[in-house]
């Protein structure tokens, strides 16, 4: 994993922007809107959980959303299901 964009979106090397399936955190990066309540905390939690980790991605039937992001379930090497951990 390269970096955390916000609480529900990450950048993965070789894949690009990945949206975590089933996770919807307050927005922090939309330049047209202010940061939503608890957005910074959600981003920080995802960053602590995933940054610097190797992760295994599993895909659903729909592999991309309408914004072109890859949709995935994210699993850490220790078996932690990151999507559920964030929710």
Domain extent, residue 68, equals: 3-86
Catalytic residues: 19, 27, 69
**Model pLDDT, residue 50:** 97
Beta pairing, strands 56-58 & 16-20: unpaired
**Which pLDDT belongs to residue 13?**
93
- Total count of domains within the chain: 1
Predicted TM-score (pTM) of the model is 0.90
- The tens digit of pLDDT for each residue in 15-69 reads 999 999 999 999 888 788 888 899 999 999 999 999 999 999 999 999 999 989 9
Domain containing 19 — which CATH number? 2.40.50.90
CB 23 within 8 A of CB 43: no
């Amino acid at each position: 994993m390269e970096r955390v964009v916000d609480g529900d979106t990450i950048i993965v090397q070789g894949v690009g922007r990945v949206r975590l399936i089933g996770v919807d955190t307050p927005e922090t990066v939309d330049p047209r809107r202010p940061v939503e309540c608890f957005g910074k905390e959600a981003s920080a939690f995802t960053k602590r959980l995933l940054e610097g980790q190797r992760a295994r991605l599993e895909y659903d039937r729909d592999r991309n959303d309408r914004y072109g992001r890859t949709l995935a379930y994210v699993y850490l090497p220790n078996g932690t299901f990151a999507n559920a951990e964030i929710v």
